Amino acid sequence: MTRESRASGRNAIGTLDRRACLACTAVALNASWLNACAADRPPVSARTQHMTVYGPTPSGAQLDAAEQYIVGTAQRLGVDPPAQIHYIWTDGISGLHTPCQGGGFADPGESRIESSMFPHYHELGHIVSAPLGRAPLMFVEGLAEHLSPVPDFRCTIDDVEGPFIVRPEWLPSRSFAAALRGSGPEAPRRLYVVVGVFTRLVIARYGLAAYLRFYRSLTFFSEPLEVRRAFLSATGATLDEAIARTRDANTQTL
């Protein structure tokens, strides 16, 4: 992430670089990384109904935007808002949480976010959606992307460079995690956009209620056969049909 994009995130919520929503790095996958990030929590700078902020002090507008997102997203998903999110804003704190600089992560178990941006809607989305359980990683990341507000934060299909391809081999969490770690043409930024747009297309076609039935019925470790069965049960369509239809949706604006 560039210095400019960090500055825009700090100073102007509505103009946060769109790439910000791509910065999350695989929720709580790497235990040693999490442990490294857990040290040296900075002082409390602000409190809201659902959040304690540590580090730099957000503006009132930033705090209001975060609160509205938390409450509105919980309502949209039919879950209770989290009792208290611990949001560690690392921007400008040199030498602190070094592994987490340049992006963010969410730890739903601890209701904790560390991010160089505020608010980081993608990471807040992970925490707010936690009561739904944890589906395989590509759906966890896809939902967090989908939940990021429009128009400034949410990535659209126009952001996908080249063919828009959802790969069925990403279904196991371990496989999508391996793809995220990869540095080839489908590096993390692109993968986040693809699964986010795919989630949006599926919800637009089959409805949020069906998607949430599908999501809730899975675990992080569900294997492809179980995922395919759950998708068919929840939507009446096959997952492979949904993926194929997505490939034909390149010109849609959602």
Q: Where are the beta strands (DSSP E) in 100-211?
A: 104-107, 112-115
Sign (positive or negative) of CA dihedral 99, 195, 206, 66: positive
Residue 191 CB, nearest distance to Zn ion (Å)? 11
**Contacting range for Zn ion; rule: CB under 5 A; set: 46-54, 73-81, 140-148, 210-218:** 140-148
Output 144 or 155, the one with its CB closest to Zn ion: 144
According to the binding rule CB under 5 A, does residue 138 interact with Zn ion?
Answer: no
Candidates 192, 211, 190, 201; CA nearest to 247 is 201
If you write DSSP's letter for every residue of 194-209 in order, what string do you get? HHHHHHHHHHHHH-HH
Rounded to 5°, the CA angle 137-143-144 comes to 95
84 token code pair: 């208290």
According to the binding rule CB under 5 A, does residue 144 interact with Zn ion?
Answer: yes
According to the binding rule CB under 5 A, does residue 24 interact with Zn ion?
Answer: yes
x/- letters, 86..125, toward Zn ion (CB under 5 A) = ----------------------------------------
**Contacting range for Zn ion; rule: CB under 5 A; set: 35-43, 66-74, 144-152, 231-239:** 144-152
Q: How many residues bind Zn ion (CB under 5 A)?
A: 3
Q: Is the peptide bond before 82 cis (omega within 30 degrees of 0)?
A: no
- By CB under 5 A, name the binding residues for Zn ion: 24, 141, 144
